[in-house]
Structure 1
């Protein structure tokens, strides 16, 4: 049996002792952002904990930063040591009186972007998503392009527009081609979401140094939910020949809480068999996926439950491909999986797929019909994963509301 926490209501629960995700928060009494760990419906202030002698001297300065970056850069030995210490202090009742004073109710914490984003890369790793889009865009051709099963396709995004959950999303404007031919400029009329899982890099590399897939856990600290908002009409006009640009770069939302990889150990599962076998640099000695069950809610109505376990390309392969040309990793790099979609209609992680190009609207909220996002709509993406001994780990949800385009 795993240990349980003395924090009331923490176990069992999505933020129990087996999880301990990291975020950055402030309060009305102390507006300075600092690092916290979620336990139940409380946030443990690690800056306050590091003020004393609890952590080793070489670790304490990391918790006086206003982001996770300094801690991420310390690597697996520090990550595991701190996780062990936090598990001990939150499970042993002898620490209750001292630690209870450092807990803030989660609903009183103002959450911030948990880490400074260095670079952002988004992949296209779901075979079901790629196949659906191929059928929509190229109905008379093979849905998968010739390269798709040979490499994890991706694009380089805009780190400066990665925003924390809850940040309103202003409807983007840009060029779009009308059905009858003319090109016009205006607000996107086909605004969409992409339900994704992101991975946060802790340990960087020197330029020219590839990272093999079996070294994934030596560099990646944890996972975070991602909504890669997408303006499909802008994207359709601009993406040939260089790929997504303005249709993606206006906003990418991430959850407030970063789940350490160690908290997902019980969620590891066999990844899909790849045919053809990938090239050597993408082959994994220990090939695995994460059994995450995503949930997409549109104005409060659950419209999809995408399964992450079925992604054709694994997070380790994405990292290997990202660096195989010698591109360096930096602390705070974020790379995302691309839309998570499964084989069933109710498992599609984008509204483009869910409504089949807008031709099959869905009912959301109070009976309203939707094909794409309208101003005022709110989308929330959540996820759960198996934890130890039958527990459930709940990744921090990511949410956003659409605001009208600027004049």
Structure 2
């Protein structure tokens, strides 16, 4: 099946996922190609691929391929490109291409550990002004290290999974004591998530230059946040129940190899980072020029630019392991909310509505300070590709269900 050179999910992209079909409930490794899914294991068998490569692609999840390391990632990508573009493989591969609409997505890898960072200076400054009025917007450590928290791997869900409104303790302004009930300030956080493939040994550290040997690729991520629960609980140890109820990720993971043309220099840092985070002499820039778009009930409410992020994924990974913490195959770390300098570039409702004080107006005439039951949020993104084309990152989408009794 031929696609135009500038197809957003064409041969220059080739993101990986896991799917099943109504006629065959087995979970299989797939590669998105236009509006189709290539059954990667079936294609490997049909083309007579080497046994080791075929074994990786016959797995029911991305785990074995992630663990195989960068030489295997490069080899598999080259094979997939050949199968989809070389006329010699056309007859063998054609039956392995299934309509995307006929497939059901699954979580593409087993999440080992989940860490969420706080890497946007614009987002951190806005939230600091909201949560700590009258104080410095950024805490004193913010420009010295990528701040983050350890999340809950077991509640990471694939795009399309409904999110139930969480319950917990919250204390409203002016109240002396907390109350219990459904969150009244349910929010989104439009982020980019990075997927670790190659593990590291406990006690070892991953240097900036080693990031691409460990990071397989990325996905879009929505770190749902109950702001009222979060505000009551986060002092002194940080987020817990306000974040742990759900984190949504894209069904398709874009490999780093597809994003060579999206590399860009990060913004200037002042003060200069400590040596293990100082990337000024690195030969490859680790910033990424990704253009995100946030839709609420189909209406675009923000266009956050990832290129403005203060800390890069390489710095996040270096800091995550600087104390000797080990990486595991399937580790996921998020960038934190992606926000830019303008109001229409803010990736969370708490910023877009200034904690509900300036509600959004939707085309149907309704307003939103925070999410209501039935609301649907979708985050999409594009990235520069070769010859000026734009590659698409798979969306992350979910609908809010009412709290359960």
Which TM-score bucket, shorter chain as reference?
A: over 0.9
TM-score by length of 2: 0.97
Say which SS state the counterpart of residue 262 (structure 1) adopts: helix
Residues 106-125 of structure 1, C-alpha deviations (whole Å, 9 max, x = no match):
11110000000000000000
Residues 266-285 of structure 1, C-alpha deviations (whole Å, 9 max, x = no match):
00011111111111111222
What is the rounded CA distance, in whole Å, between the counterparts of 1:224 and 1:110 in structure 2? 18
Shift of 1:368: 1.4
User: Are 2:307 and 1:312 equivalent residues in the alignment?
Assistant: no
User: Are 2:247 and 1:282 equivalent residues in the alignment?
Assistant: no
Say which SS state the counterpart of residue 52 (structure 2) adopts: coil
8 Å CA contact retained: 1:294, 1:382: yes
Say which SS state the counterpart of residue 25 (structure 2) adopts: coil
Equivalence for 1:75: 69
User: Are 2:29 and 1:31 equivalent residues in the alignment?
Assistant: no
Equivalence for 2:376: 378
Equivalence for 2:385: 387
Shift of 1:365: 5.0
Shift of 1:234: 0.2
User: Are 2:124 and 1:130 equivalent residues in the alignment?
Assistant: yes
Equivalence for 2:252: 257
Structure 2 regions of 5+ residues with no counterpart? none
Runs of 4+ in 1 over 4 A off after TM superposition: none
Shift of 1:10: 5.0
Shift of 1:64: 2.2
Shift of 1:142: 1.3
Q: How does 1:97-246 map to 2 (within 5 A)?
A: 97-179=91-173, 180-246=175-241
User: Are 2:267 and 1:272 equivalent residues in the alignment?
Assistant: yes
8 Å CA contact retained: 1:119, 1:333: yes
Say which SS state the counterpart of residue 32 (structure 1) adopts: strand
What is the rounded CA distance, in whole Å, between the counterparts of 2:121 and 2:248 in structure 1? 23
Kindly tell me the number of residue pairs found equivalent between the two proteins. 401
Say which SS state the counterpart of residue 73 (structure 1) adopts: helix
What is the rounded CA distance, in whole Å, between the counterparts of 1:22 and 1:265 in structure 2? 17
What is the rounded CA distance, in whole Å, between the counterparts of 1:209 and 1:371 in structure 2? 45
More displaced stretch, 260-269 vs 11-20: 11-20
Residues 199-245 of structure 1, C-alpha deviations (whole Å, 9 max, x = no match):
00000011111101111100000010000000000000000000000
8 Å CA contact retained: 1:298, 1:365: no
Shift of 1:54: 3.2
What is the rounded CA distance, in whole Å, between the counterparts of 1:251 and 1:263 in structure 2? 28
Query: Against the structure 1 CA distance between its residues 10 and 247, is the aligned structure 2 distance closer, same or farther, given a 3 Å change threshold?
Result: farther
Shift of 1:288: 2.9
Shift of 1:348: 0.2
Residues 285-319 of structure 1, C-alpha deviations (whole Å, 9 max, x = no match):
23430000000000010000000001000000000
What is the rounded CA distance, in whole Å, between the counterparts of 1:106 and 1:20 in structure 2? 14
Shift of 1:51: 3.1
Equivalence for 1:84: 78
What is the rounded CA distance, in whole Å, between the counterparts of 1:372 and 1:405 in structure 2? 15
Note the aligned Cα RMSD (angstroms). Answer: 1.1
What is the rounded CA distance, in whole Å, between the counterparts of 1:11 and 1:163 in structure 2? 32
Residues 138-170 of structure 1, C-alpha deviations (whole Å, 9 max, x = no match):
221111110000000000000000000000000
8 Å CA contact retained: 1:300, 1:365: no
Structure 1 regions of 5+ residues with no counterpart? 1-6
What is the rounded CA distance, in whole Å, between the counterparts of 1:8 and 1:109 in structure 2? 20
Equivalence for 1:3: none
Shift of 1:60: 2.0
